Amino acid sequence: MSEEFILFLQHFSNPILDLLFLFFSFLGSELFYLFFLTFVYLCLNKKIAIQLGIVIFFSMYINFSLKEVFNLPRPEFPELRVLEHPEGKSFPSGHAQSIATVSFFLACSYPKNIYFFLAIILSIMVSISRIYLGVHYPRDVIGGAILGFVIALLFRYLFHRLGSFKLKFIPGGAFFLSLLGGGVLYYFSSDPLSARVAGSLIGILCGTILEKSIINFVLPSSLKTRFVNYGIGMIMVIALYLGMKVIFPISIWGYFLRYFILNFWIVFMTPLIFYKVLK
């Protein structure tokens, strides 16, 4: 039944649909979130960007862990047309889960009907794209989308509840807890994919603590300045991203360090340069 549905979608294959669904698939990719989260952080809303980063990387960590638990293979049969060659197992779909997590978290953060409608449309289109591209069964994207929706609601509720408490911010203690939490995630990282996510989370948390303690920047009122900062910031981030691929070995700890440094740089070093060094 699942194979028949994949072939049914691929029956309509043509170059235009190929490009369209490759685009929607890109919206659930690691590279897209690198650009998108940095844009939100430097141009729109620092607090939402940090929350979104924590949510999406926790969602990815859960996804990679579940992939190892279920250990289900990706589609593979003679008539199948495969347009991508992703890493990891099949269930649940990481792209479907990620786009549902991000879009519904944003919709819950800015509760308007149009945003929930867009979240549904994006989740459907990314999910269909993964089936069309021949890399997932319907069960994978359905499971991923539902899980992403649940994670978005859960974290939106947790952030809301935490915001109602008047907690005293102690940088040293918060930094220690972040390192401890990252160490636990790294310890349970069974593959390079989950090690990336563990490194990203600890980088975001440590960077946020230092940024709040040392910089605590406020976005400039000028949109031009925000976009210039974003453009320059992304050039530095891409250079760092590509450079560390050469420097660090392909190993679990190598992935952990790369993604720790990358996210720490975005959250702390980038605003340090713009709001302290170049001020």
Is the Cβ–Cβ distance between 257 and 248 less than 8 Å? Answer: yes
Average pLDDT score over residue span 105-119:
90
Q: Which secondary structure element, helix H or strand E, spans residue 243, and what is its range?
A: helix 223-247
Is the Cβ–Cβ distance between 229 and 219 less than 8 Å? Answer: no
Q: What number of CA atoms fall less than 13 Å from residue 73's CA on the CB side?
A: 3
Q: Please tell me the predicted confidence (pLDDT) of residue 78.
A: 80
Provide the whole-model pTM.
0.86
Write out pLDDT tens, residues 129-181. 998 888 888 999 999 999 999 999 999 988 887 765 554 444 555 555 555 66
- Whether the per-residue pLDDT at 4 is higher than 70: the answer is yes
Q: Could you tell me which of 9, 152, 194, 154 has the C-alpha nearest to residue 83?
A: 9
Helix axes 192-210, 171-187, angle to 10 degrees: 180
Q: Is 35 exposed, middle or buried (0-12, 13-18, 19+ CB in 10 A)?
A: middle
Q: Could you tell me which of 41, 23, 17 has the C-alpha nearest to residue 217?
A: 41
Distance CA(157)–CA(108), nearest Å, equals 9
Max mean pLDDT range (51-60, 81-90, 161-170, 185-194): 51-60
- Mean of per-residue pLDDT scores for the chain: 84
How many CB atoms are located within 10 Å of the residue 85 CB? 9
- Whether the per-residue pLDDT at 279 is higher than 70: the answer is no
Average pLDDT score over residue span 209-230:
88
**pLDDT-wise least confident of 55-59, 90-94, 195-199:** 195-199
Average pLDDT score over residue span 250-259:
82
Q: Please tell me the predicted confidence (pLDDT) of residue 114.
A: 92
Give strand ranges (E) for the chain. Answer: none
Max mean pLDDT range (63-67, 142-146, 179-183, 215-219): 142-146
- Whether the per-residue pLDDT at 1 is higher than 70: the answer is no
Q: Is 116 exposed, middle or buried (0-12, 13-18, 19+ CB in 10 A)?
A: middle
Q: Is 71 exposed, middle or buried (0-12, 13-18, 19+ CB in 10 A)?
A: exposed
Residue in the structure block whose two tokens are 């000028």? 222
